[in-house]
Structure 1
Amino acid sequence: MLFLSFLACDKTCHLYFSVSLSFIFAILYPTATSNKLCVSSCVGKINGDYQYCPDCRKYVACSNGYKHIMPCPAKLVWDDNLKRCEWMSSTCPGSTTARTTISVCETSCVGKIYGEYQYCPDCRKYVACSNGNKYIMPCPANLVWDDNLKRCELTSSTCPGSTTSSTPITGKYDVAKRFDFLLFCMVERHF
């Protein structure tokens, strides 16, 4: 069951809430299992790429009303939310393709301009390289770094034995420091 029981902010823009992680991820990464995503014709469609429901390993590229069925690269499936081929899909029911690439842990950022990498001592953190400087960054609560996706997730294909908790997040959190997405605080509450 998804729920949001309380949401408010104070004058310092701290967010007070009690929300389950599944609620947050339902907003950030909605899944769709209905055929609303499927394209059977490109007539009248905006040029772009769409879900091809008969086969998750393909997608439909619509161009000037014409439908082109395109293959994803080997071992990848189409994710309509991301509009690209991925190792796993949140929009293709039954997608079970898993990542098999094991990342290399980054120990130095010397010579690197920018990038994010696996931090091997702790799956709940990652290394951010910026202009040759190394910064060890925490993932939000209950998340672990996935180096293939280059982001914090509920589970990781690059950090062996990573597990997460389904415990709801509760209490006071500094939004800017705790989440990868930005929430604006309306101090005077004029909506």
Structure 2
Amino acid sequence: MPCAPGTVWDQNLLTCNHQHSTQCVTGNYVGPEGNCVGCVGCTSSTTTTTTTPSTTTRPNFPCVDCSSGQQYFQHPTDCHKFIQCAPYGPQEMPCAPGTVWDQNLLTCNHQHSTQCVTGNYVGPEGNCVGCVGCTSSTTTTTTSPSTTTRPNFPCVDCSSGQQYFQHPTDCHKFIQCAPYGPQEMPCAPGTVWDQNLLTCNHQHSTQCVTGNYVDSDGNCVGCVGCTPITNTTTTTTTTPSTTTRPYFPCVDCSIGQQYFQHPTDCHKFIQCAPYGPQEMPCAPGTVWDQNLLTCNHQHSTQCVTGNYVDSDGNCVGCVGCTPITNTTTTTTTTPTTTNRPNFPCIDCSSGQQYFQHPTDCHKFIQCAPYGPQEMPCAPGTVWDQNLLTCNHQHSTQCV
């Protein structure tokens, strides 16, 4: 995964951090004798420190039940962290500096305005108890584990291939399709969901729009707020979307590559999901950059599309690979067959998610379901293993 421009990876924080204050750190690599050695650049450029791969086991969270469909939980002992449900079970995740976890918003929030609240933990009798810090620091109350069921959204059809929907009652939230079905997700403070952009946008410039809901007759109706409140006194009724997920036969996710150019629209890209190729949008004002594996400013990035199926059923392209003003023909390329790099010194079974790259501090290694995946940092950044993010290279050591 790429870090944002101006940041590098910080392994201590498990996130990307400012490169001007973060060391550029890369990970273990195979030495001439076949051993895993490194960490190149962990100290100043005059010396090189050698470390062995981490054998830290992943923390156990017996009071977190990921089978319930809930994705985010309070950490049992530290409000500066939270628990996220991963395919292999509960995963401890850090909040950014100066923030604490807010279970109501399902995100980390400013600690000066957010109470420090921890979650359920195992008591002396083996029971799940808590919730430490649920009230002010002067008192502590004990509650039983939450038995709240996941909200039901009968008007959201995840089988159609659509991934994101408007929330039926609250425009400060949205619905994301998870493997188990519709999942309620929050927008960040000061933003509301924008279905046109498929992301949360500033509420001062975005209309508050909600989606379909079940009426008294059991029908899916809505969409409340689809037009300005000042211009309407009625409620518009729409039917649930039946759009099928786009098909991308020229995208081969089996090779280990995670990101591809979109075949027809450079303002989108293709990401490999567990079920196959998934169409994803770039943010407004950006286009996909295959060299950086991220969306970049369109005023300085060429609009390039990827391979598509021609009339003979062959994968051809790449439309727009050269500027439109300089060409009158379409360049034809074949799909890439590059093998995924091998990283024998990366042990993803330990539960660690991010590692330094063995040879290039402008990249890092992320553990994917199929094993280690090489990922780039944004331009001007290098990996910071302490922060687990890409950081500004002018203030971060290349490690």
What TM-score does the superposition give when structure 1 sets the normalisation length? Answer: 0.26
Q: Which is higher, the Rg of structure 1 or of structure 2? A: 2
